[in-house]
Structure 1
Amino acid sequence: MFGYKFLVTGGAGFIGSNLIDFLLSQGAAVVCLDNFATGKRENLNDASKNDRFTLYEGDIRNYEDCQKAVVGCDYVLHQAALGSVPRSIEDPMASTDVNIGGFVKMLHAAKEAGVKRFVYAASSSTYGDHPDMPKVEHKFGNALSPYAITKYVDELYARNFADLYGIECIGLRYFNVFGRRQDPNGAYAAVIPKFVSSLINHESPYINGDGSYSRDFTYIDNVVQANIKAATTPTKDIVCQMSLYANEQTIDFDASRPLSEVINIAYGERTTLNDLVVYLKEALSAYDSNILNVPTVYRETRNGDIPHSLASIKKASALIGYHPEYSVREGILEACGWYYKNLK
């Protein structure tokens, strides 16, 4: 990646900071745009020592900040958002303001700056109540939260901007990403770091429901791989593979339209919450055997939660050559080692 310049929005966050570290390790120049509403300055400690790294402290809701950050960039990896289904239910206006308003401002600034491609974080929540398993990109149901709506609207804007202005866009529908630097604290913490933090402290993890709900958990290094391939795979290769994929899936595809696709980024395996607790206990017991004896507590299901989630990653494999390197259990082993070192 030597010679290329990337803008990573939300770069002080969990996914963004991992992207930045990888890009810098590969010789790229990297700009980070973050307002530190949810990101952490310490996530940029290593990056800040690199002379190919630039930090812009700003907000994607401010168009001037977007303009300044994207100057001279070849690619944008847009990770900035207000995540969390529960947060969006409690405050739909804030989620809409950031996830749609900020998205459009950043997309427009990228278009004006002439970036080669705009890669953005989409979400598996978009599938809503559609019953099919595994989830395929062209089939989804009714949205179950304001957050899901905002992420779907982003996909519509990306398609529209591609058609109107010719900017290439690829949306990555993440499925329950986990790994180093994912924050275990706060009301909206993701399930894996929250469980890990509880277990390390010999406190019972809380499961909403009976533990039968399942997710397609995806280790952070798989997501980093997907972002890089989504940004740098040649357009002609993607269009060629999309034509073949569309024919195989009997879906419409117009190769003459500017590139704008959405693809699932996952591992492609379903893990129940009950199984997840078992895997985490096994991994953490290597550091503290007493963790095996910590009981699990069950409580009411949560509004807006999707019962089951499993992705088809055939399209990602075909279009950008995405092949996850870490299984769920391999990722858990890596993540638990990092968490035990950093949380204990």
Structure 2
Amino acid sequence: MPSTVKGVIARAKGEPVEVVDIVVPDPGPGEAVVAIEACGVCHTDLHYREGGINDEFPFLLGHEAAGTVEAVGDGVTDVAPGDFVILNWRAVCGQCRACSKGKPWYCFSTHNARQKMTLTDGTELSPALGIGAFAEKTLVAAGQCTKVDRDASAVAAGLLGCGVMAGFGAAVNTGGVTRGDSVAVIGCGGVGDAAVAGAAIAGATTIIAVDVDDRKLAKAKHFGATHTVNSRDEDAVERIRELTGGNGADVVIDAVGRPETYEQAFFARDLAGTVVLVGVPTPELKVELPLIEIFGRGGALKSSWYGDCLPSRDFPMLIDLYRQGRFDLDAFVSERIALDQVEAAFDKMHEGTVLRSVVEL
């Protein structure tokens, strides 16, 4: 029988979010209903509210979430009621050309639940990233559920569902950071700090955090940065070169996604080094680089989508690192809030005073 629960929606572009009653249908074939325990407030949710993703209002916001499977539909075998899961927004198909080549993290045919959640008047909701987890329950494709150890805190575990995984994966999966590498991370919000942590866990020996906010740089040191650079006060490219013997870093990660930060990343890398773009640019932004420099420097210019992660592989591994005390997921949590405090959390996000506000249900 369908459930009526509380959820946070964005009804129209730029309007404050609302807590309303939503209807969650019983799971159909290949679907699961998950009782949400915690969900992080991500910049992507704000982009949805501002119409920066598309105009398919109303949106059911929230996607960095963990919870317990309540029910599953026909054909679901990987998860069962009672399983503690982290939600992801890329349920792989297993059949497309990327999956067939053994690279399911590039799956070209990811999917979500087929049924729609609605308002009580029948208006269909568009769930953020196919999840919609600022709600007491949500409906997802079963492949969007990754079972992990129940001992993990839901508040911390849910953050792997988006920003933390994106940053960690940008360093480890996309950038291929390994023992002895030098790494620079430009932009030290949640994604950038996760990239710093990933580089540290992978064995990088020089990890340079770059930002314009000393508070964020101090936080980056907690996650493993060996050096910090405030690019308001000094030239980031020159300083990164100084700290790497005049060469530039082996891997430079742009966690901002603006032309000026990408250019910094490009010129701050060593010959044959790697640039990873994980910060999400807006559609109108363009970057201009001398083609001879792209040719002459060699190496690789990569983009990292969701940290090139495979949730079934990466989420349990990161939870194990967390439980071993090697990956401080708790440090990403700036505050725990209720559903009716999401709008205030967006304001704090603008002010740069939080890494993550987390809705706890």
TM tier, shorter chain?
0.3 to 0.5
- Provide the TM-score with structure 2 as the length reference: 0.32
The structure where strand makes up a greater share of residues is: 2
The structure where helix makes up a greater share of residues is: 1
- Provide the TM-score with structure 1 as the length reference: 0.34
